[in-house]
Amino acid sequence: MRIGLSFDLKPDKAPVNEYIDDSMEEYDSMETVELIKSSIEANGHQVVLLGGGQAFLDNIYKENVDFVFNIAEGQGNYRSRESQVPAILEMLDIPYSGSDPLCLGICLDKELTKKMVAMEGVITPKWQLVTDFAELQSIDWNEFRFPLMVKPAHEGSSKGVRLSSAAMDMTELESEAKRQFEGYNQALMVEEFINGGEVTVGITGNKPAQVLAMMRILPRKKTEHFVYSIEVKRDYLELVDYECPPKLEAHIVKRLEDASLKIFKILGCRDFARIDFRLDKDGNPYFLEINPLPGLGNHSDLVLMSAMLGISHQELIKKILSAAVKRYSPCLPQ
Ligand SMILES: Nc1ncnc2c1ncn2[C@@H]1O[C@H](COP(=O)(O)OP(=O)(O)OP(=O)(O)O)[C@@H](O)[C@H]1O
Ligand SMILES: [Mg+2]
């Protein structure tokens, strides 16, 4: 097939913002784009780079592609930004990989996602959405158990999540919330901090979707309140150990697998996703958030955990692509 690759590139120079240095964190590097391109080519297809934003609009009209492999994160600070490219592709009736605009829109909204899965009985940390600083001060936080985690409500790639985001008391909660309100211009999620370990689960396929890999993230330096923050993700080779498969009791692994597949289904995900959990001291899994468009670069969790199971990048792309193509067959050239 002639496959278009839609993506948003990290600009050479990030816009200057006095509060934050991670505004472009979710966008991909050219190295990642080239890696995905070569993995698609290795699966026997021709690849056309479509880019994102205006370039994508120009190219999708010009290039006659059979299918789009989509990793575009979308433009702007909108919570529906990941839906932009799939929505255009649906309008033009062009088949594409990954979840649809509705799913991508919901999943970038952390509260909406948690409401949907909690309604179906999935355990998730107790939370409160806060839209501004005055609202934060008006809430009776005695109803919550500190530490409390503070994070932007409509971000991914750990944007905004720092080591300081685990607030031990009211003073820390206020200063962290202030920092995030100023830097990220959106509502914040304040959640009870779950402190028994961190696990991420990769899923691929449809009907049935399957757990591809599960990985525990272990801090190298013992800390009382580990946060897999942006500082840690940027320096993961030094700061964390990855355990895949995780050395967890079989019944905990089973609960994580069951919860993951259930969440994938509730949210209407397709082809692939990565789901983050925290465990409490008794090993109960708490759903944190889902990434229906997880990173596919060499340093991304899904790629790292696949590699630890001997699944190459090329094989991972093949799984995603063939799950997507199968949804459209027999209408597509193979
Ligand atoms: N309720 C919580 N309790 C403990 N730690 C938490 C909680 N919420 C978030 N964290 C920590 O913060 C990290 C980032 O949070 P989260 O996964 O919600 O953000 P994200 O930006 O969507 O992540 P990603 O980089 O996976 O897209 C988590 O991996 C975890 O270490
Ligand atoms: Mg996460």
Same domain for 313 and 215, yes or no, is: yes
In a domain, residue 108? The reply is no
* Dist. CA 127–CA 159, nearest whole Å: 19
Residue 274 CA: which ligand 1 atom is closest?
26
Total number of domains constituting the chain: 3
**pLDDT of 27-43, one tens digit each?**
888 999 999 999 999 99
Q: What 3-state DSSP class applies to 59?
A: helix
CATH (domain of 175): 3.30.1490.20
Residue nearest to ligand 1 atom 2, measured at CA? 193
Q: How far is CA 260 from the centre of its chain?
A: 14
d(CA 326, CA 170): 51
What is the dihedral sign for C-alpha 295, 299, 305, 309? positive
In angstroms, what is the span from residue 1 Cα to ligand 1's centroid?
37
What CATH number should be reported for the domain holding residue 289?
Answer: 3.30.470.20
In terms of residue numbers, what domain contains 282? 198-328
pLDDT tens over the chain, length 334 residues: 999 999 999 877 666 565 567 667 778 889 999 999 999 999 999 999 999 999 999 999 999 999 999 999 999 889 899 999 999 999 999 999 999 999 999 999 999 999 999 999 999 999 999 999 999 999 999 999 999 999 999 987 777 888 889 999 999 999 999 999 998 889 999 999 999 999 999 999 999 999 999 999 999 998 999 999 888 888 889 999 999 999 999 999 999 999 999 999 999 999 999 999 999 999 999 999 999 999 999 999 999 999 999 999 999 999 999 999 999 987 776 5
The number of the ligand nearest the C-alpha atom of 22 reads 1
- Centre of ligand 1 to C-alpha 51, Å, is 28
Q: Are residues 177 and 208 in the same domain?
A: no
**Pocket-testing residue among 24, 151, 291, 303, ligand 1, by greatest number of atoms within 8 A of Cβ:** 151
Q: What are 183-220's pLDDT values in tens digits?
A: 888 999 999 999 999 999 999 999 999 999 999 999 99
Q: 29 — phi, psi (to 5°)?
A: -90, 160
On whether residue 117 sits in a domain, the answer given is no
CA of 76 from ligand 2 middle (Å) equals: 20
Among the candidates 155, 172, 192, a domain finishes at: 192
Q: Side by side, which strands form the sheet with 67-70?
A: 46-51, 2-6, 67-70
Cβ pair 195, 225 in contact under 8 A: yes
